[in-house]
Chains A and B, each alone.
Chain A
């Protein structure tokens, strides 16, 4: 009897092991599939121009052209492009976090006439694709005389233009017991103090998750800078790297393009690993998925 029970346990545990092995095999295969484009990008970034389309393709270039990174960087003013990108990304990210948190706090904790209607209108703007509003928005910035500058990219962030993030933060605020606010009020705290010292520390994971997403959004933004920025002095990395696509009678420099793509992808990857813990916590709370 004992032997049968033991055998049944062994069978179960070996089934478990086989199941796990299978899952790992599938996961590893999926990881490889996901990594292939990244490895291809890295491999092309390290090839000479002539070897980019060599057949059969070499995954490990011979010789490895490390200088592609330096040469690509020097071909165009990428230091300037990086400064511009950081300027837009940091200001945009901070502005969005501040403006959207304040708006979400307002919707979560204050009552005012037409609150629900305004909130519904706000949410309905999520349904509008960016491309639909592109020209009307351009006309507005043009009338304000701010085309060609960074203003349209940065100032828009102060208008709390991310309804999705406002919605999530509002839900987050609503999940915090109102008693905390009341206790703070009894202790003499003003609404601003309650917001800053009581509520904000509670929503750190959500702020971090949204921070990472807005960083990624601004860092990868292509269409905004393409439409609004006036000349090479103001270009961001994403726009600058397109110069390597060549022209009508100029062949694309794929190795340079991939070198710059690798460099551009790097900060987002690094940021993800640094903020991973908070980020996943934030996603678990907020349910954000990219």
Chain B
């Protein structure tokens, strides 16, 4: 009886061992929580990409958790509380901060050992990787580098008998065009005698803090943060010239008052044909989203022929507290690669060619060459760990008075520069 019982137990043990071995062999996919700030439409398109990746992958299932509501507050609270998503979208500004604090996973080694196309660091534009680098270690990957371009309303240009500028045009030409496109109720433009600047029905351009003043400072040959992060050289003659041009533009009749912009909506005024030229991100795709003939051209260059524009770089990072770093890394690479095919512009040299981009986005064929041209000289801000504090002073004490209170840049710069330099120490 005893022997029978021992034999029976032995059989059960063997069967259990075999079953557990077999089940273990079937690798379980791990769930990767992926947070983004995508809105309704963007989240839907992203989900289609994720569904395809999930179907292909043997390692992971990506669960999208998209919400544009207070994205940074949510993410920072969750990460500070040692929780949060495995993988997340991050702005360059935040990336610099989170990388420096070790909140984002150091992926340098994993990138070096991976053969995935998105892991080839040499293929990325250097400027796009900068926000994700700390002391030559890499903490994330960019999925978009969109240069600021100029969207122009061809219908309004034709109506005003103005030719759309192409290639090398400068500030003077820009002001001339903006003047001709600023029309009062009697039909006179801002360059004509008798123009009534208190009864304007159409403006040449618009500014409300966007586009950033940095663009004009760079075009003027100045800089906002020194390359070695030692100071904010905003008091150089070049930088002051850039700020002054920006301030003069805001206070000119060619740009609607800030109250008018607030009342009628910033980009809405361009969509409603009340503004003829609008600087926007290349990914805005406005030319396909408005009811008039719209084209994309390069932003004007500075008075000494310097071409420059702002590049908005957005990327993705892995939570350093993730329980599944390998699967999260694979998901990061697959997602980054897929988003490069989806968004304009991918920050990779191999993809940023006219042929490839026209294939990926045939509906943007008119705009593509100018977007690619812009990418060649586009640059992001110089981010560093303490950037949010620096940025707070820059916007509240310098830009806000310039934009909203007709502040004199020269006077403000003498006050604000020491404060900005202090934040760089």
Interface residues in chain A, defined as those with a beta carbon under 8 Å from any beta carbon in chain B: 50, 52-55, 75-76, 134-135, 138-139, 142, 147, 222-223, 226-227, 230-232, 235, 239, 242-253
Contact call B81/A138, Cβ cutoff below 8 A: yes
Contact call B314/A75, Cβ cutoff below 8 A: no
Contact call A227/B78, Cβ cutoff below 8 A: yes
Contact call B263/A247, Cβ cutoff below 8 A: no
Contact call B77/A227, Cβ cutoff below 8 A: yes
Contact call A135/B81, Cβ cutoff below 8 A: yes
Q: Is the interface of B mostly helix, strand, loop or mixed?
A: mixed
Q: Chain B residues near A76 (CB, 8 Å)?
A: 40
Q: Chain A residues near B187 (CB, 8 Å)?
A: none
How far is B67's CA from A222's CA once the two chains are assembled, in angstroms?
13
How far is B68's CA from A148's CA once the two chains are assembled, in angstroms?
17
Cβ of B167 under 8 Å from chain A: no
Cβ of B382 under 8 Å from chain A: no
- Give A143's nearest chain B residue, CB to CB: B82
Known: A142-B82, A246-B68. A55 touches B77 (CB 8 A): no
Contact call B77/A134, Cβ cutoff below 8 A: yes
Known: A239-B69, A245-B39, A249-B285. A55 touches B263 (CB 8 A): yes
Contact call B264/A248, Cβ cutoff below 8 A: no
Task: Determine which residue in B63, B74, B83 has the highest number of CB atoms from chain A within 10 A of its CB, and name it.
Answer: B83
Contact call B272/A54, Cβ cutoff below 8 A: yes
Given contacts A249-B285, A252-B39, 9 further A-B contacts (CB under 8 A): A52-B268, A53-B263, A53-B264, A54-B272, A138-B78, A226-B70, A246-B68, A249-B284, A253-B40
Shortest C-beta distance, B82 to chain A (Å), equals 6
Cβ of B335 under 8 Å from chain A: no
Contact call A243/B267, Cβ cutoff below 8 A: no
Cβ of B43 under 8 Å from chain A: yes
Shortest C-beta distance, A150 to chain B (Å), equals 15
| Cross-chain pair count, CB within 8 angstroms | 102
Shortest C-beta distance, B112 to chain A (Å), equals 30
Contact call A247/B38, Cβ cutoff below 8 A: yes
Q: Chain B residues near A246 (CB, 8 Å)?
A: 39-40, 42, 68
Contact call A235/B67, Cβ cutoff below 8 A: yes
Contact call A232/B66, Cβ cutoff below 8 A: yes
Contact call A250/B41, Cβ cutoff below 8 A: yes
Shortest C-beta distance, B176 to chain A (Å), equals 27
- Give A231's nearest chain B residue, CB to CB: B65
Shortest C-beta distance, B277 to chain A (Å), equals 18
Q: Chain B residues near A227 (CB, 8 Å)?
A: 74, 77-78
Partner of B265, one of A52, A134, A142, A231: A52
How far is B268's CA from A250's CA once the two chains are assembled, in angstroms?
13
Q: Chain A residues near B267 (CB, 8 Å)?
A: 251
- Give B146's nearest chain A residue, CB to CB: A249
Q: Chain A residues near B274 (CB, 8 Å)?
A: 55
Contact call B283/A249, Cβ cutoff below 8 A: yes
Contact call A226/B39, Cβ cutoff below 8 A: no
- Give B45's nearest chain A residue, CB to CB: A250
Partner of B37, one of A55, A142, A239, A247: A247
> Which of chain B's residues 17-74 have a Cβ closer than 8 Å to chain A?
33, 37-43, 63-70, 73-74
Contact call A139/B81, Cβ cutoff below 8 A: yes
Could you list 24 examples of A-B contacts with CB < 8 Å?
A52-B265, A53-B272, A55-B263, A76-B40, A135-B80, A135-B81, A138-B78, A223-B73, A230-B33, A231-B33, A239-B67, A239-B69, A243-B67, A243-B68, A245-B68, A246-B40, A246-B68, A248-B281, A248-B312, A249-B283, A250-B38, A250-B39, A250-B41, A250-B42
How far is B281's CA from A221's CA once the two chains are assembled, in angstroms?
34
Q: Chain B residues near A247 (CB, 8 Å)?
A: 37-39, 42, 68
Task: Determine which residue in A50, A230, A250 has the highest number of CB atoms from chain B within 10 A of its CB, and name it.
Answer: A250
- Give A238's nearest chain B residue, CB to CB: B69
Partner of B77, one of A135, A242, A251: A135
Partner of A242, one of B41, B69, B263: B69
Contact call A245/B41, Cβ cutoff below 8 A: no
How far is B80's CA from A7's CA once the two chains are assembled, in angstroms?
76
Q: Chain A residues near B40 (CB, 8 Å)?
A: 75-76, 243-244, 246, 250, 253
Contact flags (1/0) for B212-255 with A, using CB distance below 8 Å?
00000000000000000000000000000000000000000000
- Give A51's nearest chain B residue, CB to CB: B272
Shortest C-beta distance, A94 to chain B (Å), equals 27
Contact call A142/B81, Cβ cutoff below 8 A: yes
How far is B267's CA from A289's CA once the two chains are assembled, in angstroms?
41
- Give B272's nearest chain A residue, CB to CB: A53
How far is B272's CA from A55's CA once the two chains are assembled, in angstroms?
10
Q: Chain B residues near A55 (CB, 8 Å)?
A: 263-264, 272, 274
Q: Chain B residues near A53 (CB, 8 Å)?
A: 263-265, 268-269, 272
